[in-house]
Amino acid sequence: MSYQETYKHWLESDALTPEEHAELAALAGNEAEIEDRFFDQLEFGTAGLRGVMGVGLRRMNVYTVRHATQAFAQVILNEGREEAARGVAVCFDCRLHSDEFAREAACVMAANGIPVKLCESLRPTPELSFAVREYNCIAGLNVTASHNPAEYNGYKVYWSDGAQLPPHHAAAIADQMKALDVFTDIKTMDYDDAVAQGLITILGKDMDDRFLANVLAQINDKESVAKVADTFKMVYTPFHGTGYQQIPYVLGQLGVKHLYCVEEQMVIDGRFPTVKSPNPENPESFALAVELAKKVDADLILGSDPDADRVAVQVKDGQGGYVQITGNQAGVLLLDYLIGAKRRAGTMPDKPATVKSLVSTDMTREIAEANGIASYDTFTGFKFICEKKNQLEEAGQGKVIFSFEESIGYMVGDYVRDKDAITAALLLTEMTCWYCAQGKTLLDGLEALYAKYGVHGEKTVNLVMPGLEGMADMKAIMDRQRTEPITEIAGAGVTARRDYQDGTETDLATGKVSPMDLSGSNVLRYDLDDGTHLIVRPSGTEPKIKVYILATGKDHPDCQEKMDRYAAWAETLKARK
């Protein structure tokens, strides 16, 4: 159907409430808005769904949630009744309508004969990953839009290993959605009936206790925390989200005595009224936390995003303010710290390994290899990181001690297969205390690593292109880089070009084309003759092209100059379409 026909189909549906009918009727004559809401379904990818809430086929609402869940249920049932009987874990975060969407999803699964373990109230994303593994579920889903603005919601999907869906399952769900009518092909049932029949059971304290026991088992060095506990102060904010209980709890168990929480942001509120963006990756989101930190003279500020899978920190800058540690810098610091802490504690496994996304800093590879630890790259997304972890460990090729992405996502241990802000908050705090016990800060630790491995700097440029036109522009930009290959960037020559779509690396000096281990993702990488690497990829969850600049320099000014120069070049990509 055309978007006008789909709009009419919704407008005439008896399933909608009077309020929903009124919202659609008010769109009459606004062709651009009608097209945006109805030209296609929300795209179902390996990260699930994500979109603006509202009425329409390309919006997050109870109908599109049921639609996606029906498709997901059919993919699960295709595994066989015995496998489907293992059930599905369902979780939700603090966002508007998240609890409603989670219950609707649970009712669709139950109506399809698939048992559901539904969290009694909001829980962090890593706990959903844990629940899938702990309760031997075949799959899981979490209603969340992570760090997106308040008008968004989403739907993350997981398979039996606790990791987000592999591509072939995501593609199967997308195909099922194309075949199903959003209203007439959906099975659902009354919630109370599903509970009475045992098709929906509730997860609560028992799950929390099991999860938190695994988190606390990751403590390496409680003694260093105890040494500074009387003077060490830190500030925490959950940005109105799901970390508000568990992170303060594990920090208390670690031995932190002086924890100051940003009270305004400890209130669960999916409108996120105290921040422009609930994304801890943005330093400006920490305004209230910095205000409190200055008041109490805190050594560390820590913030988790609304679904508590990502975490960021700020530390004193020595000039009366606070500076943010980037995701790449935190990854470097944590890897180096964990190597030392595990060796000091005698807990380093045989064949240790680390895994990161290919857009994250190469400095971790240098640290790993200098310490005799294998290092592996994957495509962006923890589903790929977890797939690599499973592959290495099942084959006996290595034991992964740490995984991370530059976008402030970290994973340790074996009990989750996703980013985990709860455990990362514990380890970032433990590491900070270890440095404090030596009279040092995280910034001192970074400088010591730069002195040893060279100055590294990373910067990401986001080329935002919203709407239907933006999608076409992004495709045109990526296509043109392949049809008209770039050989020079901001005065530096391209020495090699890696196309991760077809899995080839081209040496520009010789023209030789060689196969790579990774293929099948719309990513381009340029290696430059000054040692810089540039990576270009469309975001999988937001309307933007991301350009990652991985630079090295003889000192900080040299590194910064390169990042600025290549960032300016990145902005010109919009003209290459």
The residues annotated as belonging to the active site are 146
C-alpha 441/C-alpha 259 separation (Å) is 18
Q: How many CA atoms lie within 13 A of 425 on its CB side?
A: 36
- Report the 10 Å Cβ neighbour count for 29: 7
> Can you name the residues that pair with 140 across neighbouring β-strands?
89, 158
The pair of three-digit structure tokens given for residue 501, joined into one six-digit string:
């779509």
The pair of three-digit structure tokens given for residue 88, joined into one six-digit string:
């599905």
DSSP-assigned letters across all residues of 208-259: HHHHHHHHHTT---HHHHHHHTTT-EEEEE-TTSGGGTHHHHHHHHHT--EE
Cβ 285 vs Cβ 279: under 8 Å = yes
Q: Are β-strands 492-499 and 504-507 bridged in parallel, bridged antiparallel, or unpaired?
A: antiparallel
Which strands, in side-by-side order, build the sheet including 352-357?
A: 374-378, 352-357, 399-405, 409-411
C-alpha 459/C-alpha 534 separation (Å) is 10
Cβ 398 vs Cβ 350: under 8 Å = no
What are φ and ψ of residue 258, in 5° steps?
-115, 80
C-alpha 101/C-alpha 143 separation (Å) is 7
Cβ 527 vs Cβ 449: under 8 Å = no
C-alpha 253/C-alpha 292 separation (Å) is 23
Q: Which helix (H) or strand (E) holds 291?
A: helix 287-296
The pair of three-digit structure tokens given for residue 330, joined into one six-digit string:
């935190």
Helix intervals (H) in 305-415: 327-345, 363-370, 382-394
CA 550 to chain CA centroid, nearest Å: 20
Cβ 401 vs Cβ 353: under 8 Å = yes
Length reported for the chain: 577
C-alpha 163/C-alpha 181 separation (Å) is 29
Cβ 111 vs Cβ 162: under 8 Å = no
Helix intervals (H) in 39-148: 62-77, 81-84, 98-111, 125-134
> Can you name the residues that pair with 377 across neighbouring β-strands?
356
